[in-house]
Structure 1
Amino acid sequence: MQRFQYLKGLKDDEKFKGMSEMTDHIKFQKNNSSKMFSPIEDIMDLFYLSLLVGLKKNKKIDFNDTKYIKGDMVPNWTDNLSVSKDLLVALFVSHMINEKDKNYENKPEIQKILNEKLGKNPVRSISDEGMIDLHCYAFGGYFEIMKKLDNKLPSDLLMFFSTINKLVTDD
Structure 2
Amino acid sequence: MSLSILSSRIFTRIHGFRHVSLRNGYAAYSRAYTSRKRFTEDHEWVEIHGNIGTVGITDYAQKALGDVVYVELPKVGTVIEKADVIGAVESVKAASDIYAPASGKITKVNESLSENPGLINKSPENEAWLCKINLSTPKELDELMDANAYDAYCAKG
TM-score of the alignment, normalized to the shorter chain, above 0.5: no
- Please state which structure has a larger fraction of its residues in helix: 1
- Please state which structure has a larger fraction of its residues in strand: 2
TM-score (norm 1): 0.22
TM-score (norm 2): 0.24
